[in-house]
Structure 1
Amino acid sequence: MRRAGVVGHPVAHSLSPVLHGAAYRTLGLDGWSYDAIDVPDGELAAWLSGCGPEWAGLSVTMPHKKAALALADVTDPLAATVGAANTLVLQGAGAGRLVVAANTDVHGVAQAVREVRGADPATSAVVLGAGGTAAAGLAALAELGVNSPVVCVRSSARAADLLQAAHRMGVDVTLRRFDQAARFILGADIVLQTAVAGAADPVAAGLTAELARSGARLRPDQVLLDAIYDPWPTALARAWEDCGGCVAPGWLMLLHQAVEQVRLMTGVPAPVDAMRAALVAALP
């Protein structure tokens, strides 16, 4: 019997059990289970200490991604660079157990963009937001060849952690105000929307107005990845598509980060198609 799960607060809405459960069934891992576990903020260390040898790994969501990094015995260099872990792999048992921290959000962002954009090189990008997903997005953009993105934030004071992560990555970030975002996303090859649901609605209105004034259209190779998948489509995703651009839905990022988590926790390649079908069927 092996156990895995997703820890967060709140966590009942998580679709991770759908993804990992589909993977276990397809791979024939009959002895594996995956659950959503509500762990309040500040209690992850105590909860983790009570995990027995049957535990193989954890997906980590808000508000525990920084705490997970601090609890690790071994940290993947990418997670250390981003400054957050969304995955804990538990190896061994008892006093010899190792907790390994990783960040698969980077893989999720990069693969989601590649899936809809293909291999065309990108030279410019805009990130909306300054949280943990934005930091993973910066690492993904660097992997995709964009090292000088514009980041639009609602508060520059809250961008300190993001700027430190960018420095560790060797990424040169230009900060701009969130209410200026519409003018910057017009020419971007890739736009990553990582702010909370509804925050980018004014950006959608600004984008539509800017293009209406100029009579221009977005290029089909301009990709928006909106990390929000409920509700879907977001106002920005709808406006982007209506204006001619290409949209990568947030659930695509969720899929690909889970694919990498399954590989790390089970040691075998994940069944992407089966996980995709289960996720699409479960979407609101």
Structure 2
Amino acid sequence: MTSYPPGSPPGAGPLSGKARVAGVVGWPVAHSRSPRLHGYWLAEHGIDGAYVPLPVAPENLEAAVRGLAAAGFAGVNVTIPHKETILALCDHVDDTARRIGAANLLVFKEGGIEGRNTDAFGFMANLEESAPGWNAAAPVLLLGAGGAARAVAVGLLDTGVTELRVCNRNRARAETLAAEIAGPITVLDWEDRAAALDGAGLLVNSTSLGMTGQPPLELPLDALANDSVVAELVYSPLETALLAAARAKGCAGVDGLGMLLHQGRPSFAAWFGVDPQVSEGLRRFVLGDG
């Protein structure tokens, strides 16, 4: 059972008959840190509510989601492998989710199921918090072209980035990203990733390379300016080899945990009516086993 921070109000329980309930739908879902994240905020704000993990196999997705809505859930987060297929079940989809091609937040209303995507918000909020004053006028190099990369691309383009360079091991997938999202996107071959750092003010690694249990990311940073920013989307390990190399060079480093924490804020606000804050205590709690 999850234990909550000492001194926090007992907002996660006991629950009343008026409690608002939300959760996270995925397959599997045991690895998700979202219950710790939202549980912390429920306790911190003394809210009569709960947030639970909901393992749902792909073949049961529609029945489960409609059942949760009928049962009075406020909504759910959606994680792998359902973030793209869930769009077909939504009665309304916001513009960000439509452009990214995935939803990670469902809000259940009388008018039906509303699908949203908060990943772009989470990435940008983490970037602004961790590297305030980053140079949005300089080119950005984005490694990867999966769902997370699409969210990053949308967030950066909406912020006004004028040149987004995308390198992916599968170039065709990067071409698809560029075509579907549109904007000032240049697709480059994976072999050209090191050279693509020239003039870049921000490097974002959205691939799994460098993650615990995955192959390392081989990328010399020689062409990257010392005042650039390097951001990771993974948080296991929290300090990747890429971040360590960037910091040694003098660059600002942005770890991936903040994106996870900030992307949860709009979900919590939609279900429980409070815009929570990301604190150092929250970071420690979500990373820990307490």
Q: For the residues of structure 2 that align with 1:191 and 1:265, how far apart are their CA atoms?
A: 34
RMSD: 2.0
The aligned residue for residue 214 of structure 1 is: none
For 1:151-166, what aligned pairs fall within 5 Å after superposition?
151-159=166-174, 161-166=176-181
Q: Contact 2:37–2:282 at 8 Å: present in 1 too?
A: yes
Structure 2 portions without partners, runs of 5+: 1-18
Return structure 1 stretches of 4+ with deviation > 4 angstroms. Answer: none
Q: Percent of aligned pairs with the same residue?
A: 34
- Residue equivalent to 2:141: 126
1:224-239 equivalence runs, <5 A: 224-239=230-245
Higher helix share: 1
Secondary structure of the equivalent of 1:122? coil
CA contact (8 A) 1:17 1:36 kept: yes
What letter corresponds to residue 96 of structure 2 in structure 1? L
Amino acid aligned to 2:256? G
CA distance in 1, matches of 2:161, 2:179: 18
Match status 1:98 vs 2:112:
yes
Distance 1:130 1:65, change over 3 A: same
1:42-81 correspondence runs (5 A)? 42-51=59-68, 52-81=70-99
Contact 1:182 1:203 in 2 (8 A): no
Q: Secondary structure at the match of 1:13?
A: coil
Where 2:47 maps in the other structure, the secondary structure is: coil
Which secondary structure does the structure 2 equivalent of 1:187 belong to? coil
Letter paired with 2:171: S
Q: Which amino acid aligns with 1:272?
A: V
Indicate how the Cα distance of structure 1 residues 161 and 42 shifts in structure 2: closer, same or farther if over 3 A, else same. farther
Distance 1:235 1:41 in 2: 35
Map Cα deviations across residues 11-62 of structure 1 (whole Å, 9 max, x no partner).
21111111111111122112x1111222223432121122133301111111
Query: In the aligned structure 2, how far is the partner of 1:8 from the partner of 1:248?
Result: 27
Residue type of the alignment partner of 1:133: A
TM-score normalised by structure 1 residue count: 0.86
- One-letter amino acid matched to 2:225: L
Q: CA deviation at 1:200?
A: 7.6
8 Å contact 2:36–2:285 — kept in the other structure?
A: no
Name the CA shift for 1:155/1:99 in 2 (closer, same or farther; >3 Å): same
Aligned pairs (5 A) from 1:137-216: 137-159=152-174, 161-167=176-182, 171-198=183-210, 201-204=216-219, 206-207=220-221, 210=222
Cα distance in 2, alignment partners of residues 42 and 193 from structure 1: 32
Deviation at 1:201, TM superposition (A): 2.7
| 1:84 positional shift | 1.1
How far off its partner does 1:120 sit? Answer: 4.5
Q: What is the alpha-carbon distance in structure 2 between the residues aligned to residue 41 and residue 177 of structure 1?
A: 34
Q: CA deviation at 1:100?
A: 0.6
